[in-house]
Every structure is written in C-alpha cells, then in structure tokens.
Chain A
C-alpha cells in the first residue's frame, strides 16, 4: 500500500495517530497470540516434514521460507488491522477486481498446475502465488459492502442486494471451479452462505442457497462435470482400504501416520511416516498429519484448541461488532477459517474428502499464510473499529 496524499489516506493516518496510545492495548491479544503460536509452533513440523525434500540441498530451505512468510503475514495483519473502514469499503471493488484478474492470470503462461489444480501463478523470484486465496478476502469484503449497503440499521438486505452479492460472488467461484480447485470453491460457497445468512436476508435466500448448493453438487456429479480424479479425491475417504487411487492412498497413509502417533507422538523428526515421505505435501496440506504423528494426540489437540480459540475470538468480534458491515466481515472470516480448518483437518483424519486446502496459520505456503494473517488483520480491524465507537 503506497502512501499518497489523498483525502482517505490522510484519514487513515489520522486514525492511526488517534489510536496510537491505545492500539496495542486494544488489540485482541488472545486472538493474536493463538494465531502466532500456531504459525511459529508449526514451523518445527514444517521443518521436520520438509528437511529431506531437497536431498543434497539446504534442509532448512522450507523452514526459512516459512518463517519469512510468517513475518510477512504479521506485517500484512498489522497493516490490515489499521485500515480505516471507509477506506476498506472504498477499495473493496478494486480488491475484487484485482482478485478476478489474479484468477484469470492462472490461464496465462504464468499459470501453473499443482496437484491437478491450475490455481497457481508464477511470480518473479521463484515464488508462486495462489490468487484464489486472495479471492476469499475479496469475496468477504465485496459481499460485506453490498449486503450492508445503505441500511446499517435496517432489518434486512433487499433482494436486489442479495442477488447482486450472489452475482458478484459467482464470478470468482465459477473461475476457481474451472481451475478444479474444489476445496476453495467449497470454502467460498460457505463464506457466501454464511454472510447472506448473517446479513439478515430472508430465510428463503438462505434455504435456497443451501438447497441450491446441494443440488448443484449432485447435478455436477451426475453430469460428470466433476472430473474423475475429483470424484476419486472426494470419495476416497469412504473406501480407504481400496488404495487403488492416489487419493485413497493419501488418505490411508495420513491415517496410518496420525494413528501411529498415540498419546505423546513419536517425537520430532522421529515419525516414520513423515520421515519416509509417505504422506504427500506433508509440509502443507498434510501438515496436521506430521503434528499428529510426531507430537501425538497432545500436540494435535493443542493445535485444534488454538484454532478453536481463533474462531471463538472471531465469533466474539462478530457478535460485538457495532455495525452490520463489521459483523459481516468478521462472520465471513470466521466461516472461512472454520470451514477451511474443518476441511483440512477432516481430510487429514479421513472424515472429509481430499481437497487441496491448507490449514490456516499452520500449513507451509506463502499465499495461504498471507491470507490467514490478512483474515486475522480484518478481525482485529473490526474489533478496533468497535472500540473506537463512542
């Protein structure tokens, strides 16, 4: 964010100066602390999972990058938490537009296919970004603007607003669906349904969305719109012992790893499944497997508890938000983090289909880490905004 002498920027700086004495005090430290503990604590498991991945090269390559990602994430969270609401609302369409462009970039020569999903963009410096992660942020912001438009004190959004919101959300969701990134589509749909619901929209909208979503899934299945490997990924958790498909293999290996962890785990660097690289992408999508194997039930449960604290604090912020816009942002973020957490850990534990979604704050991966911390920054922002209200 470049600093320019625009009116809004001046307001932003003004707000910062206003809250200088109280900014740190007014932060939700429990929320920040839990997220920080998750990110920093998980780095040892990223190290454990990845140190053999570059045989002959730097074994701490992934660890170092992970730590850099966390620092960048913290900076992003700090900036986002201090952005003025009006600025956020004003720039939401821009962010939305950038997100759409980002997703479209995937189809240019810059795009890269990883694990069956064409969802990454190559950026200079050897980095890859996943625009769909940022698109989640964009959906939260643009939906909050539209659903809270003009009637912060009114009872419910107009049907026109809801329809517009759905229409705007449908564009990135459709594009991501075309990239075969099923997991992100599911998360985006959850965000949309949650935000429509929390906006106070008529029940028929909520019910319609739930029924429509379910129907779409069934129809897509029946019409074969979902590619075979997507079905394999989605159904492998039903028949885990049929290790014919790669997906079933992954699910099986993940459960062997976690199940073998027991109460206290095998010890750091001691997990046979982790060290043998039996579980794929175990520094990112399957990082929970590493925690479960090497730190056991204790470590895995602490991870879930810390994530629960993040969600709990998010819920509190949503509940206590002084205006609908803030509540919608917080609720969208909580729904996003909650469903992504459930989907990720659920697939690690073999009760959810395998879709390549990372675990917020924990998984290795720049874009995901940045998005998680931006989400946290949004939550803190909503909280600070309420505190600022008289």
Chain B
C-alpha cells in the first residue's frame, strides 16, 4: 500500500478529530456558557396558563338586597396594536366601527387614547389600562351588531365583540347609592407595576377590572375573588399534552352593608326635595348631603350626596360627554365624606360641652343681648334680636349667638387672652377635637376629607405657613394696587403687616366666631353626624362603618365588622343629658319646631339643632339640620345639609322630618312601626342569608 494512502488516512483522522472537537466546543458553549438563557426559554415554552376570571362579589344592603350585581353584556373592544398595523393607522376601521355602533369616530378615538398622551381626554375617559390590552369601547351592543362585526373580520381588524361580566345596579326602591358603591374600571399599568412579580394567584392581571371608588375600591381585594388558573403543558403545535396544575376560580366575596336600601331611597328623595325646596325659595342650592347613622354602633344606615350620577354610566367605560357633565355638576365626589363646610350653629352643641367642661352652670341664666361688642367689633345675633337673660337651654332653642359669644370671650380671657403662651387652654377647639372633628372619621370609603377646627394651634400653624408671604406683602406694600387705589393698598398693607407680626395670635374675635361654628372651622357632614351620635349616646365617638360583614359567595361569614370606638368625650356628669333635653326643646319650641309641625314629638321626641352657616366668599348660607332620635332613647342621628340653601330649618328641616317619618312609620301624625321603611321598625340585627348558589335571600324575594 502506498504512502499516499497512509498519509490520506492520517488527514482523515485529523479531520475527524477536528469535527469531534467542534462538536464538543459547541456543546460546552450551549450547555455551560449560555445554558441558563435557554433554560428560561424552555420554561416559558412548555406551559400555557388559561385564566377563568372570577365573578366579582355582590354588594348587598343590610337585608340582603343586591345593590351591585353582575350581568353579561356584549362588549366591543379594540386592540390598538392591531390598528397601528393598518395602512392608515386604522382610521378606516374606526370609521366603519363608528358607523356600525352609531357613534362618532372621535368618541371612539378618545377612549383609545392612553392617558397622558397628547390630546388625550382626562381620566377616566382616556385609557389607563395596560397598553397591550384591548380597550373596551362599547357595552350592551346589540347581538346583530356584534355578529356583523365578527362576521366581517377583514373589515374590522383588531375589533372583538365578546360576552363579558359587567356590573349591574338593580337599584332596589329606586335607590341610587352611587357615592357609596363607587365603580370599577380597568386595572392601571401603575397598579400592575407596583405589585411586581407577584405569584399570588389573587394578583392583578392585565385584563382585570378593579374598584376605582367607593366600596368597590375600599373592598376591592374581597370583591375581586381569585381567578381560576389551569396550567397546561402544550407541545410545539399548541396541542395540549397534559394539565400541570389546576385551580378553580373562587368567586369574589360579598360585602354586606349597613345601608338599608329602602331608607336610602327615602333619604335620597328627602335630600333632592330639600334642594328643590330651596331652589323654589330662590336659593342656588347647588349641593347637598344627608346621612343616617346608628348612634349605638356607628353603622351608616343611609347616606346621600347631591348631585349624584347613574353608576351605570361607568359600565364599559364612560364617555367624555358624560364625564364632563359629572365634573361640571360636581357629582363625582361625595358631599357627605369629601366636602367640608362651616357647621354654623349646629356647632353650639360642642361649645356647650366645652362650657360645661370649663365649669359653666348648664342650668344657669345668661344674658342674650342683640349684639356683643369686643373692642371695636360688634358681633350680632342672627336676626339682631335680643331675648334678655335666658337659660342656656333657651339659648340653644332660639340659637342665641351672643350667649355663646360671651362664654367664648370669657374662656378666651381665662385661657390667657391675646398674649397667651403656647399651649394655653383652648376649650372649644379641644372639645371639638375630643369629638374627633377636624379629622377623617375613618369611614370605610376612600378619599375622605378631614376638614379643620379653628383654634389657637390652627392659627399658629397657618401663620407659620403663610408668614413669609404676609411679611413680603407688607414690605412690598401692594405697589401695583397703590396706583389705582392707594387707600385699599394702604389697608391691605396694614393688614399684611399685622398678620406678619402677630398673625399667630388667637384673638377674642376668633374665639367668638369659633363658638358658633364659623371662622375657619369646616367639617364634613359625616363628622357632624358622628358628633351628634356621640352626644346622643353619652359621649362615645364611633367610627362610621358602611360595611357590616363580608360573606363568601356561598354564604359563609368571612368577616364581621364590630363597632369601633374612636374616642370617649370627657364631660361633667349631666352634660349630655342636658344637651339631649335642650335639643329636644329646639324641636319642640325652638328653631327646629317648624319642620316638625304635626310630628308626634310626645311619643318620639327629636333632639335637633339648626344651622345657617354664613359663607363669606359668596355671601350665602349653608343650611344645616342636625338631629338624633328618639331623644329619650337615642338610636339614630340624622344630618342634612344644603349649600347655598338658605336657613337650616326651612330647607333641611323638612328633609330630616321626612326621614324620621319613614324610620318610625309616622303617617298623618300617627306612629305605626309596621309602616316603617326599616323592617320591624329597626335596623337588622342579623346578617342576610346567601344561598350556597350565591343568590341572597331578600325580604322581597323570601325563601
């Protein structure tokens, strides 16, 4: 055999060695150098999650009547990513879609715009859900319309019509309940980002709807439920080869509220009637609030805010037009929990407690002149009438300001007067704080306002905040204004100088204003209701509570909310008894008498206090009527308020009367508990029953 043959065999051997070496090197690289990357790819490759959305829990009233339920709706959604792939950015598709749905193309475009992008409408019209998620643009689409869209797939790329569970508002007794219930909207990218890489099965996912306001937001975690997740092993063509894990969807829990739908309906009507009444009297009466709480527990039995809106508007996304209207009407926020107002004379009850704590004789006699002068300032009675020396009860009954002015002035002086050191006593503000006024009540609704109580500390705080501005204004001397009106500029400069130098000083004029709920004091109607509830129950300040319990969708009790005591108001023996008596007198023979003409006060004594708080900015008055009943065994506190509404007795009083009529079953002056809107004449003491299939048993649809 030739050497050439041998040589060529050697070459073959070398070639084979290099081939094997190549394979080994490649194997080493794939498995040990970049292996982790491939391992991750393999993991994502082989399983697919199929998600069955959980049915959102219902919200029930205290008798089990659904306030929020679910129904299915044909929802048309648009995938923005598919649109951008169209030659004209999808304009033709949107035109066709607008025609099919009978809306304008602009209205669809507005809903498609991501919030914050140029020209986007404000929340919640704009899209703030996940950018990869189809945007719902129409709900309750007619079946024929949906079918015609789905049949013409090529005309409607990226458009889908699907059956989706949407919120439904059965509205028992025509109750609206909008501000309590809130609404749901698509989960925001921000919410998804904040939960990070959570593996919790209950975590939010891109297509989820979450509560955006009211109870829907407050109890979102309970209502949402846990989606069912089936993890399937799939092969390369997407064929299912097995089930890796499976979990069933757990329907969201039910929230049982303390709200009684029937009473709620009465309260809503009473409030809108009060507004109507004020308007007939020529008042603007733009907003109003009404609330009924159980003084023994803090349970919120009814709560209405005027103006309101139809919660149905939010289902499937709200339109710009609707949203603008709601904003213009200021219908979105709750006047009960989110608006703060000067309480006016209703605050005198607090001043009375302060006086008692400072040792004033509640049974004593006090002069009630037509006006009270402090230095150069004269503080007048409401209608500038004097009553001579009167008892404190009478002072409350006729709402004599000057009696409380004098008391406030005296307490101010005793506390150190103008030059009081820091931390000097401030009985009125301290008592208001003891009732937890000027701070959020802790009600289980989001975005509650806190308000504030004017007093020494508050004034110091404001001064520290604004001192620099005042001082620079004083230095600058309002030079611009000076050219037109030197006199006014001079006055402003002097004011700024005074504020700069000793704007922190709590003057007797301040104390006098504070004693009748004016000045800087502003509180929510709910705070006033809780204060009156505390006066009624002997000084216990409860946390108002809308939710009564959480039930599972099969009816088991998950959680029951027991009353939460926020504070006990310390007051001398007999203080609250005195107030109960005195305020019963207000209704019987004082300023609160007018609305309760013909009401069987001897059977059901009502303790009340009217208020007509002056709003200096627009020279209007806020009409208040605060009350509790029965005065001898208090159960309910009812507060109604109408802004720019005239006097409390005339505007708000009849509304409160209507509410008590309904609660106690008073018809034509006769008490008939069977005619009460509350079944059995009282709030339910038990929880409603939910059948294992999820349907609640209601008084109207019994077992």
A152 to B1, CA, bound (A): 7
A198 touches which one: B9, B23, B28 (CB < 8 A)?
Answer: B9
A260 touching B42 by the CB < 8 A rule? yes
A155 touching B13 by the CB < 8 A rule? no
Q: B31 on the interface (CB 8 Å rule)?
A: yes
Q: B234 on the interface (CB 8 Å rule)?
A: yes
A354 to B6, CA, bound (A): 33
A304 touching B20 by the CB < 8 A rule? yes
B16 touches which one: A198, A301, A323, A334 (CB < 8 A)?
Answer: A334
A256 to B34, CA, bound (A): 10
Residue of A nearest to B17 (CB): A308
- Provide the B132-150 mask, 1 if CB < 8 A to any CB of A, else 0: 0000000000000000000
A258 touching B31 by the CB < 8 A rule? yes
Residue of B nearest to A328 (CB): B5
B16 touching A255 by the CB < 8 A rule? no
Report B1-52 residues with CB < 8 Å from chain A CB: 1-2, 4-6, 8-9, 11-13, 15-16, 19-20, 22-24, 26-28, 30-32, 34-39, 41-43, 45-46
Q: B250 on the interface (CB 8 Å rule)?
A: no
A328 to B69, CA, bound (A): 86
Please indicate which of the listed interface residues B11, B31, B235 has the most CB atoms of chain A within 10 Å of its own CB: B31
Residue of A nearest to B27 (CB): A300
User: Chain A residues with Cβ under 8 A from B24's Cβ?
Assistant: 301, 304
Min C-beta distance of A295 to chain B, whole Å: 11
A278 touching B236 by the CB < 8 A rule? yes
Q: Could you say which interface size class chain B belongs to?
A: 35 or more
Min C-beta distance of A282 to chain B, whole Å: 10
B241 touching A276 by the CB < 8 A rule? yes
Report B177-212 residues with CB < 8 Å from chain A CB: none
A308 to B22, CA, bound (A): 12
B39 touching A259 by the CB < 8 A rule? yes
A273 touching B5 by the CB < 8 A rule? no
A261 touching B9 by the CB < 8 A rule? no
B interface secondary structure, majority: helix
A198 touching B37 by the CB < 8 A rule? no
Q: A119 on the interface (CB 8 Å rule)?
A: no
Min C-beta distance of B243 to chain A, whole Å: 13
A319 to B9, CA, bound (A): 7
A331 touches which one: B2, B9, B236 (CB < 8 A)?
Answer: B9
User: Chain B residues with Cβ under 8 A from A136's Cβ?
Assistant: none
Q: B604 on the interface (CB 8 Å rule)?
A: no
Stretch at the interface among A57-65, A76-84, A175-183, A345-353: A345-353
Q: B233 on the interface (CB 8 Å rule)?
A: yes
Min C-beta distance of B671 to chain A, whole Å: 75
B31 touches which one: A206, A276, A297 (CB < 8 A)?
Answer: A297
Q: A324 on the interface (CB 8 Å rule)?
A: yes
Also in contact, A253 and B236, with CB within 8 A (given A259-B38, A319-B6, A334-B12): yes
Min C-beta distance of A318 to chain B, whole Å: 6
B27 touching A292 by the CB < 8 A rule? yes
Please indicate which of the listed interface residues A256, A261, A263, A296 has the most CB atoms of chain B within 10 Å of its own CB: A256
Residue of B nearest to A280 (CB): B236
Residue of B nearest to A337 (CB): B16
A199 touching B5 by the CB < 8 A rule? yes
Chain A residues at the B interface, C-beta cutoff of 8 Å: 52, 152-153, 155-156, 194, 197-200, 206, 249, 253, 255-263, 272-273, 275-280, 292-293, 296-297, 300-301, 304, 307-308, 311, 315, 318-319, 323-324, 327, 331, 334-335, 338-339, 341-342, 345-346, 349-351
What are 14 A-B pairs at a CB distance below 8 A? A152-B1, A194-B12, A198-B9, A200-B2, A200-B4, A255-B38, A256-B38, A259-B41, A260-B43, A323-B1, A338-B16, A338-B19, A345-B23, A350-B26
Known A297-B31, A335-B12; further 7 A-B contacts with Cβ < 8 A: A256-B38, A258-B31, A277-B235, A297-B32, A315-B12, A327-B9, A339-B19
